[in-house]
């Protein structure tokens, strides 16, 4: 542009800049007001598994408590499939405004290594809000299986390799991880039957359509107490007060086959810090509620301490879990894609 024409354009340019500045200034209070008014409408927590499973159960209890503290409705949306990655993608790609959240579990620690071609960043796509709970697992089977103890199951699987099938909620699910650990401990394979969540898997287990399931106590306790399934062990070093007659895996002959499933709450990357802080406060209020704590205890778990339901504690725990599973998954060389 010639010098003369540039000078001639200056008034237009400065008017344009002034207009842009006024728009930005006008927007700033709106954005700040939006955060100040937060939450001003219904919040959705995505569960990346089908309704009726352990993640769904935990989330509905937390959503109710958070809604009370926030003074807003908090709804749960089930987006199952692909081991929880479809639901996680839905939240990673949502507007970072605090109205779409994700409640997920150990899968957030294994997915970054298990999946190599995702439509979203499994780590950089999220803001951790706080940890929620750590849930034990139980090894269970349909009532007609020809096994009454974990050692009977080990013998059956070794005898009938790949004839015994086990349900899980897809690669990266807690039920998938527990199944891998169980097959490693038995040193024999089972045939995998994937579901969109262990809610529907439990239905088929009780119906006898599938043989074995390793699932969280938040889904299995009521069915074990009702005698609807056979239970062989809990995957914790000590027996659970909620299932006192169920042996640990060590007592049942598979020492070291232990796993608990941590859960955390996330927002999309870029969600404003004041919104994250408000959500963490609401999560802590929900977890401090006596009736939620009693419900969790009845299901074999308990809320994490308030200092763990913070973004910093959750971030540190999550990063350490990713680092723990990466060498294990890479050594196994088994990937989801």
| Residues at the interface with ligand MLT (CB under 6 A) | 49-50, 53-55, 105, 169, 173-175, 197-199
Q: How far is the CB of 65 from ligand MLT (least distance, A)?
A: 19
**Given the complex with ligand MLT, which of 38 and 296 has the nearer CB atom?**
296
Cβ-based nearer residue to ligand MLT, 53 or 125: 53
From the CB of 196, what's the least distance to ligand MLT, in Å? 8
**Nearer Cβ to ligand MLT, position 38 or 325?**
325
Tell me how far, at minimum, the Cβ of 298 lies from ligand MLT, in Å: 18
Angle at CA 293, nearest 5°, toward 229 and 219?
20
SS3 77: strand
Question: What sign does the CA torsion over 6, 8, 10, 15 have?
Answer: negative
Alpha helices in the chain (DSSP H): 3-37, 54-70, 85-92, 107-114, 150-159, 174-186, 198-207, 217-225, 273-287, 290-298, 311-332
**Element housing 266 (H / E):** strand 260-268
Which CB sits closer to ligand MLT, 54 or 96?
54
CB of 194 closer than 8 Å to CB of 80 = no
Nearer to ligand MLT, 156 or 169 (CB): 169
**Minimal distance, residue 14 CB to ligand MLT, in Å:** 58
In the bound state, the residue with its beta carbon closest to ligand MLT is 53
Of residues 150 and 201, the one with the C-beta less far from ligand MLT: 201
| Of 69 and 134, CB closest to ligand MLT | 134
Of the pair 136, 199, the CB lying nearest ligand MLT is at 199
Smallest distance, ligand MLT to C-beta of residue 244, A: 24
Residue 318: φ, ψ to 5°: -65, -45
Euclidean distance between the first and the last CA atom of the chain, given in angstroms as a whole number: 53
- Determine the distance from the C-alpha atom of residue 334 to the mean position of all C-alpha atoms in its chain, rounded to a whole number: 21
Least distance from ligand MLT to the Cβ atom of residue 233, Å: 17
Residue 85 has phi, psi (to 5 degrees) of: -75, -25
Q: How far is the CB of 57 from ligand MLT (least distance, A)?
A: 8
Distance from chain centroid for Cα 200:
17
Angle (nearest 5°) at CA 173 between 172 and 174: 120
In this structure, what token pair is assigned to residue 212? Answer: 């074995």
Least distance to ligand MLT, CB of residue 170, Å: 8
Contact 156, 147 (CB under 8 A): yes
For residue 184, what are the contacts with CB-CB under 8 A and spacing of at least 6?
none
């Amino acid at each position: 542009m010639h010098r003369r024409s540039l000078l001639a354009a200056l008034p237009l340019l400065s008017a344009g800049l002034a207009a842009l500045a006024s728009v930005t200034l006008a927007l700033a209070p709106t954005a700040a007001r939006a955060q100040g008014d937060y939450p001003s409408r219904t919040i959705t927590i995505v569960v990346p598994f089908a309704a009726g499973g352990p993640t769904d159960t935990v989330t509905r209890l937390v959503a109710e408590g958070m809604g009370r503290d926030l003074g807003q409705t908090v709804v749960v949306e089930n987006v199952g499939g692909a081991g929880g990655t479809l639901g996680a993608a839905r939240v990673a790609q949502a507007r970072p405004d605090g109205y779409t959240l994700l409640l997920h579990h150990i899968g957030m620690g294994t997915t970054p290594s298990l999946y190599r071609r995702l439509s979203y960043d499994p780590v950089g796509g999220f803001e951790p809000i706080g940890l929620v709970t750590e849930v034990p697992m139980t090894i269970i089977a349909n009532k007609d299986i020809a096994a009454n103890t974990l050692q009977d199951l080990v013998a059956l699987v070794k005898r009938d390799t790949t004839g015994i099938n086990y349900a899980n909620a897809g690669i990266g699910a807690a039920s998938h991880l527990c199944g891998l650990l169980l097959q490693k401990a038995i040193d024999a394979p089972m045939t995998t039957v994937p579901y969109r969540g262990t809610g529907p898997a439990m239905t088929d287990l009780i119906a006898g359509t599938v043989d074995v399931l390793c699932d969280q106590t938040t889904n299995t306790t009521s069915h074990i107490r009702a005698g609807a399934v056979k239970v062989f062990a809990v995957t914790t070093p000590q027996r659970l007060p909620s299932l006192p007659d169920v042996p640990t895996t060590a007592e049942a002959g598979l020492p070291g086959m232990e796993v608990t499933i941590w859960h955390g709450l996330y927002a999309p990357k870029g969600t404003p810090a004041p919104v994250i802080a408000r959500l963490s406060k609401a999560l802590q209020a929900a977890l401090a509620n006596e009736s939620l704590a009693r419900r969790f205890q009845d299901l074999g778990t308990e809320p994490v301490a308030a200092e763990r339901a913070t973004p910093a504690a959750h971030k540190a725990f999550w990063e350490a879990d990713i680092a723990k599973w990466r060498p294990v998954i890479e050594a196994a060389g088994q990937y989801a894609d």
